[in-house]
Structure 1
Amino acid sequence: MLPNPVFANIALVTPKKELQQQIKAALDQGKSLEEILQFLQNKSKAPPSIKRAFKDYQMESGLLFYQGQIVVPDIGDLRTDLLWIFHNSPLAGHPGRQQTLELVSRNYYWPGIHADTYWHMDSCKTCQQIQKPKYAPIPPQPLELPTRPWQHVSYNMIVDLPKDGNSDSILVIVDSFTKYVILVEYSKKLKALELADLFLRHIWKCYSMPKKTISEQGRVFNNKFLKALSKLSRDNHPQSDGQTEQVNPTVEHFLWAYSGINQKDWVKWLPMAEFAYNNATVRRP
């Protein structure tokens, strides 16, 4: 059940091209990058010590890069805007310290980026007010490791959410190989065969029938649902591999942060929650 609402106002995210234009325009405004820019304009005359110090910098299309990442000057709110995009915005979903840093660092760099990112995340009022729900850990069972995407699938449910339309629950499905997550809203009143049909339409239709489906023991899954799935799946295990157990708290954290004042518009945020989780987590084969 969702707690008392804590929600955030959503602002438009600055388009990538516009943001990079702002970074480009700010390069000459500060003195901190002046020596590097002068070196890049006349490398041949630089002494060996300077060449060694600045060897990882290069200019491309008017942007300064350090080891392949765009250097962000300390001008105006550029760095703060980037941290907002990669932590506060729905594209990110208020991830933790390391995930926020990883998202920012994929394309951007500045001296002190670690400290700035940690400070921004630790100062986030939304994260301070929302505690990720904790589930009792289920010891993972030793299972055969998958060798390709969608060969093994884990599934679980988040139930008793505030009713939004006809939906009050989420079916959480995780590909055991890539950790890719699919979130499907549904009504808790659905019967076992109808839930199995959701699984069929959202997973097997798109990715073919998995070799193995794994349920989280001790959750709301009932024998009828497992039986309905077993009619379709070649190998069904009422065991735990810990996959969905890691997903559920993150999904609920996202919905608490962005859902409306009555927590009754969470369905419209579910696709963005799915994107944010997968963007930060998925392992590409």
Structure 2
Amino acid sequence: MRPTTQLAVRLLQADDQGRERVISFQSRQLKAAERNYPVHDKELLAMKYALIKFRVHLLGSKPFVVYTDHASLRTAVNSPHLSQRMARWLSFFAEYNFRVEYKPGKLNVLVDALSRRPDYELAHISQVTTDLYDRIRLGYRDDASLGPLVRYLAAGSDAKVEWLTPRQRARLYRYEWADGLLHYRVEPEDPPRIVVPNDEDLKYDILMEAHDAPFSGHLGREKTYASVSQTFWWRHMYKWVATYVRTCETCQRVKPAGHASAPLQSLQVPADCWKSMSLDFVFGLPADDRGNTGVVAFVCRLSKMVHFAPVRDTVTGNEVARLFMDCVFRHHGLPKTIVSDRDPRFTAAFWQTLFRLLGTRLSMSTADHPQTDGQTERVNRVLEDTLRSICAEMPRSWDDRLPMVEFALNNAVHASTGFTPFYLNGLRHPQVPLTLRGRTGASVISGGRLGKPFPPKSRT
């Protein structure tokens, strides 16, 4: 018997070898009044329920045993303090010939499936929070410009428009107040972004998280701005981002100056993500603890999503095939075409045979012009710059940071598409510590629409 919010009982009979065999299970929910019974009475109610349900098997039979995980039931009959309800039940029990034995709950588990279904149990939920949004809320109090606007939106029907400046009145329809945070729409159809108060330390902390963190990758001005503006807004934010990236000490120290290159021959744009991909190697990195000195890069030619894997300079076509299956195939399936250079690793018989068996055709780059595959060459350059930025203090740890670099590039808005690779592949933006409490995106599943690239006029 296991009464909680339900009653559950079972009837057992010993076989010739003394093993207990189940004859029947019975259960029901407790009624509203019964749920208010003390635990002792609930246990007695379960015993009464079992005797009623199994009456035809138990009445007039040999002595039988009632097992319970409530030890006090063994002395219930002899208790000097009986309620009227218990007295009625005990008179009913007198019709039967049984004894009560205690069985610990961990041994009385067969009825758990009836009385303690795991999907009815409360799960322990661990929620990750950050103090960033509390700092933003506190910052509104000291902001002479945003303070009146916050008071107006939070006051509801008691608000007075005289609190606002003429500029705020004209743009009032773009502001929202939710969860103690002020939100602003750059354009009426844009998702709302959290307004950051005029606090320099707060703004620098946001930019540091969006640019310097390992999962941010020390990316350039445009990508950093696109990342921050997905969630936050403040006046002249683009200038703040540009200044921050331009004066980043790590970027100045490890990234080479940009230089013009010859125009690249373009390949046909695929119609869907991972229908066509390119791959290449980056070698010459410091040897890590496992002897890896290079990275193989797999790049979707439409969404620009990347997957990286560390390799040795002696990597074989067989090993690359396994990395391809592990990094690309298990997530995206097989592409129709793979763009590569004429490296012997890709022209090996095994590689060609693998593609032929899988129905994949290997598209080769133009001979003696590796920049035909300009997309992967560009990814290689960004990969090297990013690894240098986040591994400047510990160069041999680059393989441990490779997942962070992959995340940073996939979470950055690409200039050629106007979207992040994550968004083009899954129509959603992944959560990062900077956005744990943000409410800035419409759900595609719940009816939201595909967002649009950030227009130049939104750079305020």
For Structure 1 versus Structure 2, the TM-score category normalised by the shorter chain is 0.7 to 0.9
Percentage identity across paired residues of the two chains: 28
How many Å apart are 1:75 and its aligned residue?
A: 2.8
Provide the secondary structure at the position in 2 that maps to 1:276: helix
Distance 1:136 1:190, change over 3 A: farther
Find the counterpart in structure 1 of residue 143 from structure 2.
Answer: 30
Q: Structure 1 counterpart of 2:333, which letter?
A: S
Residue identity matched to 1:66: Y
1:188 is the counterpart of 2:320: no
**C-alpha deviation, 1:139, in angstroms:** 5.2
Q: Aligned partner of 1:192: which letter?
A: G
Contact 1:260 1:266 in 2 (8 A): no
2:188 matches 1:75: no
- Corresponding letter in the other structure for 2:131: E
Q: 1:52 aligns with which of 133, 155, 170?
A: 170
Instruction: Number of aligned residue pairs: give it.
Output: 267
Distance between the aligned counterparts of 1:142 and 1:57, measured in 2?
44
Give the deviation of 1:175 after TM superposition: 0.9
Deviation per residue, 1:187-215 (Å, 9 max, x gap): 11122322233223322233222110001
Residue 65 of structure 1, aligned match among 172, 183, 188: 183
The within-5 A match list for 1:1-285 is 17-40=130-153, 41=155, 45-46=160-161, 51-67=169-185, 68-75=192-199, 77-132=201-256, 137=261, 140-164=264-288, 165-215=290-340, 217=341, 222-227=343-348, 228-233=350-355, 234-239=360-365, 240-259=372-391, 261=393, 263-281=395-413, 282-283=420-421, 284-285=423-424
Q: Which moved more, 1:22-31 or 1:33-42?
A: 33-42
* Residues in 2 aligned to 1:272 and 1:244: alpha-carbon distance in whole angstroms: 19
Cα distance in 1 for residues equivalent to 2:217 and 2:396: 18
Taking only aligned residues, the RMSD between alpha carbons, in angstroms, comes to 2.5
CA shift in 2, pair 1:115/1:139, >3 Å: closer
Paired residue secondary structure (2:279): strand
Please report the TM-score for the alignment, with normalisation by the length of structure 1.
0.84
- 1:176-197 CA-to-partner distances (Å, cap 9, x unmatched) read 1211100010111122322233
Shift of 1:232: 2.1
**Secondary structure of the structure 1 residue equivalent to 2:411:** helix
1:12 alignment counterpart: none
CA shift for structure 1 position 260: 5.6
1:52 and 1:93 mapped to 2: Cα distance? Answer: 39
Q: How high is the TM-score relative to the length of structure 2?
A: 0.54
Once the two structures are superposed, what CA deviation does each residue of 1:220-260 show, in whole Å capped at 9, x if it has no partner?
Answer: x5234233433222211112342211211211112112226
Matched AA of 1:31: A
- Secondary structure at the residue paired with 1:155? strand
1:155 Cα offset (Å): 0.3
Compare relative contact order (CA 8 Å, sep 6+) and give the higher one, 1 or 2.
1
Question: Within 1, Cα distance between the matches of 2:347 and 2:403?
Answer: 26
* Residues 205 and 39 of structure 1: CA distance in aligned 2, closer, same or farther (over 3 Å): closer
Q: Counterpart of 2:106?
A: none
Which residue identity is paired with 2:362?
A: N
Conservation of the 8 A alpha-carbon contact between 1:168 and 1:186: yes
SS in 1 for 2:313: coil
Q: 1:100 to 1:206 in 2, by over 3 A?
A: closer
SS at match of 1:77: helix
Residue ranges of structure 1 left out of the alignment (5+ in a row): 1-14
